[in-house]
Chain A
Amino acid sequence: MMIQSGLRAVFLLFRSSIIILILSASAALSQSPPSPDAAGTVTAPPSPNDVRELMRLLGDPSIRNWLAESASSQSEIRAVNAPSFAMRDQLAVVTQSVHERLGELATFWTDIPKAIGMLAGVWQSQLSQTELLRLLTYCLIFLFIGAALEWLYHQYTKYRSMQIEFLQPSSFRVKYQGVFARLGIELGSLSFFVLGSIGAFLLFDWPETMRALVLDFLIMIVAIRFIKLISRVLFAPRLSNLRLVNFTGKQAALSSYWFVLLLSFGVFANFVHRLFSQTLTVMSDSQTAGTLVSIDIFVTIIWALLGLSAIWSLKRYFSNSDTQRVTIKGRLADTWPTYLTVLLCMVLALSIMGASPLTGTVLTIGLLVPAISLAGKWVESLFNQAALFDRNQQLLELDSEQADTPDEIETTDNVEAVEAETFIQPVEIYGSIIRRVVRFLLVALAILLLINLWDINLFALSASQSLAGKVFDVAIDTLFALLLADLIWHWAKSAIDRRLADYTPPPDGQAPGPEARMATLLPMLRMILMVTLLMVVFLSILTSFGVNVAPLLAGAGVLGVAIGFGAQALVRDVVSGIFFLIDDAFRIGEYIEIDNLRGTVESMSIRSLRVRHHRGMVHTIPFGELKSLTNYSRDWVIMKLEFRVPFETDLKLVKKLVKKIGAELLENEVYGKSIIQTLKSQGVRRMEEFNMVVGVKFMTKPGEQWLIRRDAYQKVRDAFDANGIGFAERNVKVQVMADQPIGEETRKAVVGAAQDAVEQQLPPVPIADEP
C-alpha cells in the first residue's frame, strides 16, 4: 500500500514534469512568426487558461463553421484553418507556407543589421531612459520584497528542512515522506516569494505598459525558480538520500544543471518574445514581422546549441559500461546522443522553415521513444530502491533475531530466501505494471499533443469521409483498445500470478492452508478474464472498422440461451461449484465425506470434484450433486480410546500412567508437534458386567490421529503391564452353594454351564473403515 501510494505520487510528479518539459520545449521551438495576415495564430504562447478557452471555442461547431467561412473568403493561407482533410490540399498548404517562409528567410538574412538598429529604435520610442530605469527599480524592489518574505519563511522552516536534509532514510516510506515534505517546504518558500513579489506588485495601480512588463518579468523569475525547484527535488544534486532518480552525485549535478538551463532559457525566450511582440505591435509593417522572425530564429538556434552541448556533455556520464555494450540493446541504448542530435537538428531545421505543427510532431514522436525507455528505467530503479530498503530492513530484523538464536546455518538460509523473494518480486510484478501504465500514459499524452498541434477536430475528422480520416479513426480506436486491454490483462495476470506464486502446495500428508482455495479459483478466473478481454477488444476493433456487432452479440445471446437450456445441469454444477469454493467447504488435499463417499480431494474442475479414497478408488462428484459435505481435515480432531480393566485396578495409578504417556507422546519428534492436547485420562467412563471402562482422549491436527493412537495403545499396554495392571478378561464366576468340596463331575458340569454364559457374545461390530 505504501509503495503504491508513494509511486502514485511520484508518478504524478514525473508526469507533470514531463509535460512541463515537452510543453516548454515545444513552446520555445514552435514560436512561429506571425505571418501578417494569419490573425488566427497567436504570436506569443498564450496562458493555459487561454488555450483551454480557445480549445473550447474551437470545439464549438458554430464557431468552427464561422472560422472556416471567414477564413476561406479571405486568403489562401487561411485555408489551413478550414477543415479540409484531403491529403493533397494539406500538402499544398504546407508547401505554400514553406515557400513563403523561405522568402521571409531570404529577406531576414539581408535585414539582420537593420533589424538590430530598428529594434533599438522601437525600444527607445516605447521606453524612455527614465522609464527603463524605473522599470529596473520596480523589478528590484519587488524581487527584494519577495526574497524578504521568503527569508522570513525560511527562518521558521529551516530546522525542519535541515532535519529532512540530514535524513538517513531507513525505508522507502520514510524517504518519500522526506522528499514530499521537502517539496512542500520548497513550494511554500516559492509561494512566499510569489506573495512578496507579485502580491506586492498587485497592491498598486500601474499604467498598462508598466504593468505588463513588470508582471512578465516577475512571472519569468517565478517560472525559472519553479524549474529549479523541480530539479532540486528530482535530482537533489547535494542530497543523495533524497534523490528521486538513480543517479550518482556527478550525474545528478550535471543533469540538474542542464535541465534548469534549457528550461530556463525556454522561459527566458518566451519572455523576450512577449517583450518584443508587445513593443512591436505598435508598428505593423512587414519589417517588424521580419524582426520578430529574426529574434525567434536567433533564440531557437541558441536553444538548439544549448541542447546539443547538453547532450554531449551528459554523454560522458551516462554511457553504458563495456559489459552492457555487448548486447544489441546495450549498444542501441548507447546511440542516444547521436539520435538526439539528429532529432534536434531536424527540429531546428523544421522550425526555421516555419512548419510549426511539423516541428512539434517530430519533437513529440522523437522524444516518445526515449521518454518511454527512460520512464521504464526510472520505475525499475524506484522498485529496486524499495526492494533494497525492504531487504535492509529484513536483514536488520534477522540480525536481531540472530542474536537470540545461535543457529547460524538456518539464519543464513533465511537471508538467502529473503533476498531471493523480496528482490525479485516487486520489480517483476508491480514494476512491469507501472511501466505499462507509464507507457500507456505517455503514448496517450503524445497523441493528445499531436492532436493539439495539428489542431485536428477529432469529431470532424472522423465524420469526414476521406480515407485518411477513416484510417486515423480506426487506428486511434484500435490503439486505445489494445493499450487498455494490454494494461488490464497485464495487471490482472500479474496479480493472479503473484497470488499463485505465493502458494506452495503442502507436503504429502499435511493439511493444506486456506490459500489452497485460491490455487483452485485463480487459474479459472484468469482464463475467464482473458477470454472476456479478447472478446471485448475484438468487438471494439470491429466496431471501429464499422462492422455492426449488434447481430453478432444478439446471435451469441440466442446461442447462449439455447446452450443454457441444454446444459442446465452443467450450469448448476458450475455455479454451485463456485459457491462451494467461496464457502470454503473443502480444499485440495482435504479428507472429506460426501454421503457414503470418502477420500482426499484430489482436483477440482469447473464442473466436478475428484476425490480419492484412501484405498485408491477415485470418485468423481459433480458439484451440483453435493447437498452436504463433511470435512475431516479442519483445524483439529479428538480421538477417544477405551480400556477395560478389572474392578480392583488402582485408578490413581492409571491416571498417573496415562499422564506420563501423554508427556512421552508430546516429546515424540515425528508427531509431537501435531498434538494439540495430549493424552489424558478421563477416569472411569462406565461400569460393565465384569470390568470398568477407563476412557482416555487426545486432540491432534487432522490426519495425525491414527499414528498417535497406535503409539498410545502400545504405550498404555506396556505401562499397564509393567505396573501389574491387567486388562479385564471376560470371566464367569460360578458360586457353588455347597459346604463340601465338589467332585470332578460337578466341576465339569459347572464349567459347562459357565461356558454358555461366557460364549454368549455380542454380535461382531464392523471394523471402522479408516485410512
Chain B
Amino acid sequence: MKRNLRIITGLLLYVFVACHLLNVSLGIVSAELVEQTRPAFMYIWSSRLGGIILLSALLIHAVLGLQVLYQRNTLQMSASDGLQFASGFLILPLMIPHVWGVIAMVNILDTPPTYPILMHFFWIDSPLEGLRQVLLLMIVWVHGSIGIFTWLQLKTWWPRIALFTYPLIVLVPVLALLGFVEGGNLAIRNFENTASYTDQQNEDDIPYAAESVDGYGVSQDAENEIAATDTFAENYAYVQQVKWIMIFIYAGILALVLIARWWRLFRQDGVVSVVYDNGMAINAVVGNTFLELSKTNNIPHANLCRGRGRCGTCRIRILKTSAELPEPTQLEADALLVTKSDSDVRLACQCIPGAGEVHIERLFEPDVAFSEFRKGQKSSNTDPAPDGALVLNADGEAR
C-alpha cells in the first residue's frame, strides 16, 4: 500500500514536472511560444482539483520520504540510492519558494506569473532565485528519474523499451535548461537595451530599480501604481515571511524525524552476530535487517530490487538461531508464499533479527544477474528456477 502510494504520487509529480519542463523548453524558440502553449501543457494541473491533487501528492510523497528516513536502520547505501535519498530531502526547501511564490502571485499579489516576468525575475532581479531554480530542476529530475528507474527495472517489458527511454529522460531537462538560458539571455538583452535607453533619457529616475522586490511582481509600469505600492509591499513582505516559515517548519520536521530515528536506534541494544554459510561472521547492534548487515559489512548479498522486498533474491535460509526473529510482515509473507519458500527461509531485506546468534545461508549468488534471473524464470516449468525465484509486483503477487 505504502509503496503503491509512493509510486503513484511520485509518478504524478514526475509527469507534472515533465509537462512543466517541456513547456519551458519551448523558450528556446521564443518566450511568446511558452506563454501560448502553457495552457495546453498545464491544462490538467491548473484547475483547482488538479492543484489539490498535485499538492496532496507532494505532501504524501514527502511524508512517506520522512517515514523512510525514520525507518532506515543505516544510512549507508549504494551511490544512486544515496543520491535519491539525499536529493529527496533537498527538494522541498528548494521548491517551496517557487510553488508558494506562484500561488501567492495569483492569489495574494494579483500578478499573473507570465514567462517573461519570471525570466526577468530569475535573471535580473534575483539571480540567486534563478540559481535556486536551476538547482531545483536538476535535483527534482534526478530524484524522480532514479525512483522511476528503480521501479521499472523489475518489469519484464522494461529492457525492451529502456534503450529508447533514456534519450527522452535526458532530453527533457536539457531542453528545459537550454530554454531557461535562452529566455534569460533574451531578458538580459531587453533589460540592457531599455536600461541604456532610459540612461539616455533620465538617469535619476529609474522606476523599477527601487522595486526590485523579491516577489514575482515586478511590473515595468510601477510608476502608475505608486498608490498601490504600499499594499503590494505589505503583501510581498507577508509572502516572504510565509515562505520562510514554511521552510523552517520543514527543517524542523526533518530535525524531529532525525532525532526520533536516533532515539529509536539508541533504544535498541543487544548484539546480534550473524554467521554466514562460508564461515564469515559479523557482530552488530540489533536493529538492522540481514541485508543491511551484509551491506554495511561489505559482505556480498544479492538484492536485485535493492531491499524493497520485491525480487526475492536476498532470501536466506535460517540454519540455526538463538536470536528471536520477528514474524514475517504481510509483505514478506506474500513474497515467501509466492516464491514457495520453505518455512525456514526469510527475506533478508525485511527480517530484523533480535539479539543472539544466527546462522544463515544465502540462497542466491551475490552476482545473480537480472537476465539470468529472468531466464531462470522463463524456464521455470522445466527446471524449477533457482529456488523458485519470482518477481513480485508491488502487491507481492507473482507475475
Binding site for B on A (CB under 8 A): 129-130, 133-134, 136-138, 140-141, 144-145, 148-149, 151-152, 155-156, 196, 200, 203-206
Contacts and interface: CB of A to CB of B under 8 A. Distances in A.
Interface of B: 123-124, 127-128, 130-131, 134-135, 138, 162-163, 166-167, 170, 173-174, 177-178, 180-182, 184-185
B163 A156 contact: yes
Contact of B182 (A138, A140, A151, A204): A204
B280 to A, nearest CB: 21
A148 B174 contact: yes
A141 B181 contact: yes
Contacts of B124: 130
Contacts of A130: 124, 127
A533 B174 CA distance: 64
Contacts of B174: 145, 148-149, 196, 200
A204 B185 contact: yes
Given A140-B135, A152-B166, A145 B178 contact: yes
A149 B138 CA distance: 14
Given A145-B177, A204-B182, A137 B166 contact: no
Contacts of A151: 170
A155 B149 CA distance: 12
A204 B131 contact: no
Contact of B178 (A156, A203, A206): A203
B128 A144 contact: no
Nearest to A135: B127
A586 B130 CA distance: 90
A137 B185 CA distance: 12
B131 A200 contact: no
A206 B185 CA distance: 8
A500 to B, nearest CB: 52
Contact of A133 (B127, B170, B178, B182): B127
A424 to B, nearest CB: 40
Contacts of A148: 170, 173-174
A155 B166 contact: yes
A138 B127 CA distance: 11
8 contacts: A137-B134, A140-B138, A141-B177, A144-B134, A144-B173, A145-B178, A149-B174, A155-B162
Contacts of B127: 129-130, 133-134, 137
Contact of B130 (A137, A196, A200): A137
A195 B357 CA distance: 55
B130 A204 contact: no
B130 A134 contact: yes
B128 A138 contact: no
Given A145-B178, A204-B181, A205-B185, A134 B167 contact: no
A695 to B, nearest CB: 72
A276 B173 CA distance: 34
The winner among B138, B166, B174, B178 for most chain A CB atoms within 10 A is B174
B131 A140 contact: yes
Contacts of B178: 145, 200, 203
A151 B180 CA distance: 21
Nearest to B149: A155
A137 B131 contact: yes
Contacts of B163: 155-156
Given A148-B173, A200-B178, A204-B185, A141 B167 contact: no
Nearest to A205: B185
A-B pairs with lowest CB-CB distance, top 4: A133-B127, A152-B170, A155-B166, A148-B170
Contacts of A145: 174, 177-178
Given A137-B134, A141-B181, A145-B174, 14 more contacts: A133-B131, A137-B131, A144-B138, A144-B173, A144-B177, A145-B177, A145-B178, A148-B174, A149-B170, A151-B170, A152-B166, A152-B170, A156-B163, A200-B178
B211 to A, nearest CB: 16
Contacts of A203: 178
B113 to A, nearest CB: 20
Nearest to B162: A155
Nearest to B180: A141
Nearest to A200: B178
Contacts of B185: 204-206
A711 to B, nearest CB: 67
A262 to B, nearest CB: 27
A129 B126 CA distance: 10
A145 B172 CA distance: 11
Contacts of B123: 134
Given A133-B127, A156-B163, A203-B178, A141 B134 contact: yes
A625 to B, nearest CB: 77
A152 B167 contact: yes
A204 B134 CA distance: 18
A140 B173 CA distance: 13
Nearest to B127: A133
B1 to A, nearest CB: 32
B131 A136 contact: yes
Contacts of B130: 133-134, 137
B2 to A, nearest CB: 29
A727 B127 CA distance: 123
Contacts of B128: 133
Contacts of A144: 134, 138, 173, 177
A144 B167 CA distance: 15
Contacts of B135: 140
Contacts of A137: 127, 130-131, 134
A165 B283 CA distance: 32
Nearest to A196: B174
A129 B125 CA distance: 11
The winner among B163, B178, B180 for most chain A CB atoms within 10 A is B178
The winner among B166, B178, B181, B182 for most chain A CB atoms within 10 A is B181
A151 B138 CA distance: 14
A60 B138 CA distance: 53
A204 B174 CA distance: 14
Nearest to B166: A155
A137 B134 CA distance: 7
The winner among A149, A155, A206 for most chain B CB atoms within 10 A is A155
A205 B184 CA distance: 12
A98 B173 CA distance: 56
A472 B166 CA distance: 62
Nearest to A140: B134
Contacts of A200: 174, 178
Nearest to B132: A137
The winner among B123, B162, B173, B177 for most chain A CB atoms within 10 A is B177
B147 to A, nearest CB: 16
Contacts of A133: 127-128, 130-131
B193 to A, nearest CB: 13
A751 B130 CA distance: 142
B161 to A, nearest CB: 13
Contacts of A155: 162-163, 166
Nearest to B137: A144
A148 B176 CA distance: 13
Contacts of B134: 137, 140-141, 144
Contacts of A196: 174
A7 to B, nearest CB: 34
A155 B167 CA distance: 10
Contacts of A129: 127
A181 to B, nearest CB: 20
Nearest to A130: B127
Nearest to B178: A200
A136 B170 CA distance: 22
A652 B178 CA distance: 102
B80 to A, nearest CB: 11
Nearest to A151: B170
Nearest to B163: A156
A206 B163 CA distance: 35
A206 B188 CA distance: 11
Contacts of A138: 181
B249 to A, nearest CB: 27
Contacts of B138: 140, 144
